[in-house]
Amino acid sequence: MAEIPLVMPKMSMTMEEGTFLTWHKAEGDEVRAGDVVCEVATDKVDMEVESPVDGTLVRLVAQPDDVVAVGEPIAYLSSDADDLLGDLLDGPAEAEAPPPAPAALATTPTAPPSLSTVVSAVPLARSRAVELGVDLTALNGTGPGGTIRVADVEAVTAQLVTPAAHVPHRPSATNGAPAGTGTPASRYRSRRAVARQTSASAAIPQAVVFRDLDLEAVAERRGQCGWLSLIVRAYADALRDSPLNARWTGEGSEVWSDVAVGLMVDTEHGPVAPVLANPDRFPIEELDVRLGRVADHARSGKVPVEHLTAATTTVHDLGTLGVDAFQELLNPPQATALSVGAVAPHVVPVGDGVGVRTRCRVGLTVDHRVGDCADAARLLNAVQRRLDDPNWFGWR
């Protein structure tokens, strides 16, 4: 049987290390693929780690409070599911044929970056890629028809990093909360993540455009639907058609083929941004339920893996805290971020007199390398046009 490492998974684009919390299985236990083996903590949330294969847990490496780099082993599994039929698909090798070369990173993208690109890979290779943070779309597989195998994934990571002997280290003043501060370790990890992200954001030339969104047209139709759900759906749909739905590559602007909104949520551990892919494709009532659900997950510290994928933009609502307007910093490689202020009645000019309209102020921050303030203004105008048409939301 092969001995397969269970590694610290990469559960967000910015995750570099995780803190091991607790084991749910003991050494010698048999596990099935999908069984929860242990729990780990990222900078923002606690996550359950599942076994990628059927097998036996033969060696535990990490212990509670160990800080482990992404891709480093936390345990080893004994399993005969080494490549999940990958070898059985190979034809007989010619006697003098050289062994296939390791998979290489693709150098030229053939299509805009997508959140749903389909690649040919054996199941265990997909699991291994998730654990090591490897983008399968950037690999050339050595299996039949270009199928990506486990060896291809591991060959690429071996080219990038020569692993040293794994020595898990205990939290210290640089890993956990400083001694004597009384700061919960989870919040301390979150602040460290925010500090790193702020440093990355500071390197981007940013511009922000503010606008008051008029919500009067949808006020009577929304029922129990939250204001944020209406704004997110209109924003995501408008962004899809905007040149700002892109990222800066160093050589130019590259357009995303999807829209994935990172919803910034305030939690006791600090800000968390679970991701909802293509929110403009959901009926408004369903989107409202989904947004509420992912926000609850974030506050509980248990965000499902499917909501820790890469976001293409961020939405942050501080209106519930009474804030009228603020600027949201960009989260690289995203080129846009939308801040949402409080929804409230406002006295505005109406004809020759005045009237009261339901409004909220939003701010759109943009990467000035991808677009300018005029692009931001046009995007916000497109959001307003959708909000002006209650029928656009397709109420049930």
91 Cβ contact list (under 8 Å, min separation 6): 144
The CATH number of the domain holding residue 338 is 3.30.559.10
Q: Give a yes or no: residue 98 inside a domain.
A: yes
Share of the chain above pLDDT 90, in %: 44
- Domain of 60, CATH number, reads 2.40.50.100
Residues 153 and 198 in one domain: no
Structure tokens that stand for 381 in this block: 């105008």
Q: 111-151: per-residue pLDDT in tens?
A: 555 554 456 666 566 666 666 667 677 677 776 556 777 67
168 within domain boundaries:
no
Whether residue 134 is found in the same domain as residue 196:
no
Cα–chain center distance at 168: 26
Report the C-alpha gap between 334 and 370 in whole angstroms. Answer: 10
Does residue 382 lie within any of the structural domains?
yes
CA dihedral 331, 337, 340, 341 (to 10 degrees): 70
Question: Coil, strand, or helix at residue 357?
Answer: strand
Whether residue 313 contacts residue 337, with contact meaning beta carbons closer than 8 Å, is answered with yes
Query: In this structure, is residue 360 part of a structural domain?
Result: yes
pLDDT single digits (tens) 40-82: 887 667 778 888 889 999 999 999 988 888 888 999 999 876 5
Q: Beta strand pairing status for 30-31 and 73-79?
A: unpaired
Residue 332 predicted with pLDDT over 90: no
Does 181 fall in a domain?
A: no
Lowest mean pLDDT among 46-50, 193-197, 224-228, 237-241: 193-197
Domain closes at, from 91, 125, 160: 160
Query: Do residues 206 and 348 both lie within one domain?
Result: yes
Inside any domain, residue 195: yes
Looking at residue 60, its pLDDT comes to 93
What is the maximum span of the chain, computed from C-alpha positions, in angstroms? 91
If asked whether residues 245 and 347 sit together in one domain, one would say: yes
Instruction: Kindly report the average pLDDT of the chain as a whole number.
Output: 79
Q: What is the pLDDT of residue 312?
A: 95
d(CA 369, CA 335): 9
Co-location of 261 and 132 in the same domain: no
Measure the CA–CA gap between 133 and 25, rounded to whole angstroms: 24
What string of H, E and C letters represents the secondary structure of 155-178?
HHHHHHCCCCCCCCECCCCCCCCC
Structure confidence at residue 165 (pLDDT): 40
Mean pLDDT of 6-22: 80
Q: H or E element: which one contains 291? A: helix 284-300
For residue 177, tell me if it sits in a domain: no
Domain boundary among 114, 143, 160: 160
Write out the residue range of the structural domain in which residue 297 sits.
Answer: 187-393
Does pLDDT of 351 surpass 70? yes
Structure confidence at residue 325 (pLDDT): 96
Residue 349: which H helix or E strand, with range?
A: strand 344-350
Together in a domain, 251 and 103: no
Residue where one domain finishes, among candidates 145, 160, 175 = 160
99: left (phi over 0), alpha (psi -120 to 50) or beta: beta
Residue 381 above 80 pLDDT? yes
Domains of the chain: total: 2
Q: 275: which 2 tokens?
A: 């991701």
Q: Give the span between the Cα atoms of 52 and 131, in whole angstroms.
A: 10
Whether residues 138 and 218 fall in one domain: no
For 227, the token pair is: 């204001």
Please state, in angstroms and rounded to a whole number, the distance separating the CA atoms of residues 171 and 178. 9
Burial class (CB in 10 A: 0-12, 13-18, 19+), 347: exposed
β 30-31/55-60 pair status: antiparallel
The larger pLDDT score, comparing residue 177 to residue 344, is at 344
The reply to whether 167 falls in a domain is no
96 and 210 within one domain = no
One domain, residues 201 and 139? no
| 334 has pLDDT over 70 | yes
Q: What is the pLDDT of residue 13?
A: 60
The band of 274, judged by pLDDT with boundaries at 50, 70 and 90, is confident
Q: Do 232 and 85 reside in the same domain of the chain?
A: no
Residue 97 in contact with residue 131, Cβ under 8 Å?
no
Indicate if 242 and 326 belong to the same structural domain. Answer: yes
Q: Are residues 150 and 221 in the same domain?
A: no
Residues 7 and 163: their CA atoms lie apart, in Å, by 13
